[in-house]
A and B are shown apart, each in its own frame.
Chain A
Amino acid sequence: MSTNKVIHALYNDDDILMDAVKKVKGEHHHIEEVYTPFPVHGLDKALGLAPTRLAITAFLYGITGTSIAIWLTWYTMIADWPQDIGGKPSFTWYENMPAFVPILFELTVFFAAHLMVITFYMRSRIWPFKEAENPDPRTTDDHFLMEIPVHDNEEDLKALLETTGAVEIKVVDKH
């Protein structure tokens, strides 16, 4: 089937790319992927990508970290072996709470940061020894690539992309 075919349109300027994306979207073509050497502000909005929920996960991880820190300080310092260390009040957790705040804070940040990064890796499918998915090495340097799947409309698409200022257009068989 021809659905394995995609068009790769290359651009050498992010402003031209943005206009091209808007134009292609305006013609109601689906854009499979855009490869850029650096973040292009507003590209996600132009592509209509849903906003990330990574910040929400980070907030939840942070709360988890706080809870674990509270449990840790309470269990070790108050419940398990409440010693008198330098006159600090170990009768209840909240009496000695100020001494625990640095730990609460650090564990909150630790959990929020690390778990969010791991979430990011998992959701983005990045790991060591992962095979790079780069259709054209120039996109890591100075070119921008837009990938559009072809559904028996190869000539239309080519004609459209010609008008958007693409420096190179090629039809590729995807395996």
Chain B
Amino acid sequence: MYQFSGKLKMLAIILMAVGLLGTVISFMNTPGSLEEAKEILAAQEASHHGGHGASHGGDTHHADAGHKTEEEHSTEHKEESKDTHTATEHKEETHSTETVKDSVHHETEVKKDSIVDTVNHSDSTHVAHAEGTHETPDHTEDTRLTDSLNGHVTEKAHANPTHGEGAHTDAGHHGDHHAEHAFHQMQNRPWSAVYVSLLFFLGITLLVFAFYAAQRVAQAGWSVALFRVMEAITANIHYVSVAMLLFIILTVMHYNHLFPWMAEGTFELGHENYDPIVDGKKWFMNVPGWVMRSIFYLLVWNGFRFIIRKKSIEQDNGDLKLHKNLYNLSVGFVVLFMITESMMSWDWIMGIDPHWFSTLFGWYVLATFLVSALTVICLVTLYLRAKGHLPMVNDSHIHDLAKFMFGFSVFWTYLWFAQFMLIWYADMPEETVYYALRFKEYIVPFIGMLALNFIFPILLLINSDFKTVPWILVIGGLFILVGHYVDLFVMIMPGTVGGQWGFGIGEISAFLFFLGLFIFATFTAFSKANPVAKGNPFLHESETHHYYIIEHRGEDNNAHH
């Protein structure tokens, strides 16, 4: 039996304590009033002024405005040419502007005043735009995001095609609106920090369990030696589910505004927050439905995990009936998992941008968590093996895990690119806003994660011999984990905190807290059962698992010819 070492337990508790403390501090540092938010904005403006001017192509219209208020967007009809950022047209447009198509210049495209603030913050900044004619076919507007890849994102990043009306006559209020808007984003930030880490660890734990169930369904021979490691990691799902449940309750009680469609009045015709687009999705996006579904997912995952783990330990007596029973349970879980995972990604992640939708999003989220889950299995296995607790695990098992890490890194990239390229290619405004915002405000993490999630793992793990070298796997694994944290970060943050994002105490603390929780849950569970699933009929196959091509370093090579 494994003994949870006091040192490791202490580390876990310290991580949790530090994480909790930092989270509390980050909540206290959030501006409590609009005035404080304005001060912060003023400070930001002072320090970022130059930067914004540059990113707007040195356009003189921006010189006085400083930062991107709605005011600017509504009164300026600017366009950008390819790289010279030439002339702009400054017009006051009225409702009929879609008749004003391209002007003579092929590079110059007039934009209507459909330009609103970023994607979908329901926090009352859309007041003025909500009324009337949302059906305006404003697809005719300039949708070219050519500069987006260039790093120069045009104003279209702020174009919300769903609010196609120009009611921005009262420009005087926009300064306030902007401040209020930024204030809400600042208030969202500590919540988002917790939410990103919470989802990250919840997703990883869930996918470890799904992978484990898939191994049972596939009757895999190689992985039986790792079963208890995977089971131990899945213990974390009970802990993070409690945190998630708490989060769900606090969210529906309006303690945070991460989900814009939950704002008051979204579904009330005539209310200032009324949003006809979201109203059209009311059959799915409503608070009771959301809560019930969320709780259902958590119940399914926790229920299956609890039962399967219990029976798996029972199976140490070698009962073959239990083995079949576990097989059936795993089949049931895999089916339910695929459904709940897809819906979870709509409810918990895509719901943050309720105007945007993508068909393969569920798969994409799955890939993110799956590759992270395999990395975590690999790292925990390497740790436990190095400490001598997994005598059955040889280089071939590690090699297989590394192959999965490699393969699913490519799979993630495939899905990421498939989603991005289809939207970039067709460039339909209602879809493109999603990426425009990410290119505009999140360009470094957004592109950086491609290196972390694709290029580094590919180059490190393509070599067969490297797949068994612990330190290379640890480095590759850290790239992957950091990269997929960033991936989730870029999924959540733009919709909740927008331009007010950062990576500070709140983000780090939340991560540390859940990391501590993960360590605590995993190693506690690992110490509670035999490290070898000794009743499993495939155990011998796993013990003698041998991939003959690789170099087997520092292990007995005679297990098999």
Q: How far is the CB of B90 from chain A (nearest CB, A)?
A: 24
CB of B561 closer than 8 Å to a CB of A:
yes
C-alpha gap A92/B150 in the complex (Å): 9
Q: How far is the CB of B515 from chain A (nearest CB, A)?
A: 35
B423 to A, closest residue via Cβ:
A98
Interface string of A70-86 (1 = CB under 8 A from B): 00000000000000100
Interface string of B419-445 (1 = CB under 8 A from A): 011001101000000000000000000
A91 touches B83 (CB 8 A): yes
CB of A120 closer than 8 Å to a CB of B:
no
* Cβ contact of B427, chosen from A42, A55, A87, cutoff 8 A: A87
| Contact A59/B561 with A95-B149, A98-B420, A99-B425 known, Cβ cut-off 8 Å | no
Q: Enumerate chain B residues within 8 angstroms of A59, measured Cβ to Cβ.
A: 462
* Cβ contact of A45, chosen from B83, B150, B425, B548, cutoff 8 A: B548
Question: What secondary structure prevails in chain A residues at the interface with B?
Answer: helix
Q: Enumerate chain B residues within 8 angstroms of A45, measured Cβ to Cβ.
A: 548
C-alpha gap A94/B150 in the complex (Å): 8
A98 touches B424 (CB 8 A): yes
A98 touches B561 (CB 8 A): no
Q: How far is the CB of B295 from chain A (nearest CB, A)?
A: 40
C-alpha gap A46/B146 in the complex (Å): 59
Q: Enumerate chain A residues within 8 angstroms of B420, measured Cβ to Cβ.
A: 98
Q: Enumerate chain B residues within 8 angstroms of A41, measured Cβ to Cβ.
A: 548, 561
| Contact A98/B421 with A18-B561, A42-B561, A91-B83 known, Cβ cut-off 8 Å | yes
A101 touches B421 (CB 8 A): yes
A95 touches B462 (CB 8 A): no
B144 touches A89 (CB 8 A): yes
Q: How far is the CB of B218 from chain A (nearest CB, A)?
A: 22
C-alpha gap A101/B425 in the complex (Å): 12
CB of A34 closer than 8 Å to a CB of B:
no
C-alpha gap A59/B463 in the complex (Å): 10
Q: Enumerate chain B residues within 8 angstroms of A55, measured Cβ to Cβ.
A: 464
A42 touches B150 (CB 8 A): no
B462 touches A89 (CB 8 A): no
B462 touches A91 (CB 8 A): no
Q: Enumerate chain A residues within 8 angstroms of B561, measured Cβ to Cβ.
A: 18, 41-42, 46
C-alpha gap A92/B548 in the complex (Å): 48
CB of A103 closer than 8 Å to a CB of B:
no
By CB atoms of chain A within 10 A, which of B146, B421, B424, B427 has the most? Answer: B146
CB of B417 closer than 8 Å to a CB of A:
yes
CB of A97 closer than 8 Å to a CB of B:
yes
Give the number of chain A interface residues (Cβ < 8 Å). 19
A94 touches B548 (CB 8 A): no
- List A111-164 residues whose CB lies under 8 Å from chain B: none
C-alpha gap A18/B146 in the complex (Å): 63
Q: Enumerate chain A residues within 8 angstroms of B149, measured Cβ to Cβ.
A: 89, 94-95, 97-98
Interface string of B143-180 (1 = CB under 8 A from A): 01010011000000000000000000000000000000
C-alpha gap A63/B424 in the complex (Å): 26
C-alpha gap A118/B425 in the complex (Å): 36
A59 to B, closest residue via Cβ:
B462
A97 to B, closest residue via Cβ:
B149
Q: How far is the CB of A144 from chain B (nearest CB, A)?
A: 15
A87 touches B144 (CB 8 A): yes
Q: How far is the CB of B29 from chain A (nearest CB, A)?
A: 39
Q: Enumerate chain B residues within 8 angstroms of A51, measured Cβ to Cβ.
A: 549
B548 touches A42 (CB 8 A): yes
C-alpha gap A87/B425 in the complex (Å): 10
Interface string of B179-205 (1 = CB under 8 A from A): 000000000000000000000000000
C-alpha gap A42/B425 in the complex (Å): 49
C-alpha gap A104/B82 in the complex (Å): 25
C-alpha gap A94/B149 in the complex (Å): 8
- List B46-89 residues whose CB lies under 8 Å from chain A: 82-83
Q: How far is the CB of A102 from chain B (nearest CB, A)?
A: 8
C-alpha gap A95/B147 in the complex (Å): 8
| Contact A89/B82 with A59-B462, A95-B146, A97-B149 known, Cβ cut-off 8 Å | yes
Q: Enumerate chain A residues within 8 angstroms of B548, measured Cβ to Cβ.
A: 41-42, 45
C-alpha gap A87/B109 in the complex (Å): 12
C-alpha gap A97/B106 in the complex (Å): 22
Q: Enumerate chain B residues within 8 angstroms of A101, measured Cβ to Cβ.
A: 417, 421
Q: How far is the CB of B529 from chain A (nearest CB, A)?
A: 34
Q: Enumerate chain A residues within 8 angstroms of B425, measured Cβ to Cβ.
A: 98-99
Interface string of B462-479 (1 = CB under 8 A from A): 101000000000000000
A91 touches B146 (CB 8 A): yes
Interface string of A29-60 (1 = CB under 8 A from B): 00000000000011001100001000100010
Q: Enumerate chain B residues within 8 angstroms of A89, measured Cβ to Cβ.
A: 82, 144, 146, 149
Task: Return the 3 tightest CB-CB contacts between A and B, nearest first.
Answer: A89-B146, A98-B421, A95-B149
- Interface pairs (13), CB distance under 8 Å: A42-B561, A51-B549, A84-B106, A87-B144, A89-B149, A91-B146, A92-B150, A95-B149, A95-B150, A98-B149, A98-B421, A99-B421, A101-B421
Chain A residues proximal to chain B, CB less than 8 Å: 18, 41-42, 45-46, 51, 55, 59, 84, 87, 89, 91-92, 94-95, 97-99, 101
Besides A87-B427, A89-B82, 11 more A-B contacts (Cβ < 8 Å) are: A42-B548, A55-B464, A59-B462, A84-B106, A89-B144, A91-B83, A91-B146, A95-B149, A98-B149, A101-B417, A101-B421
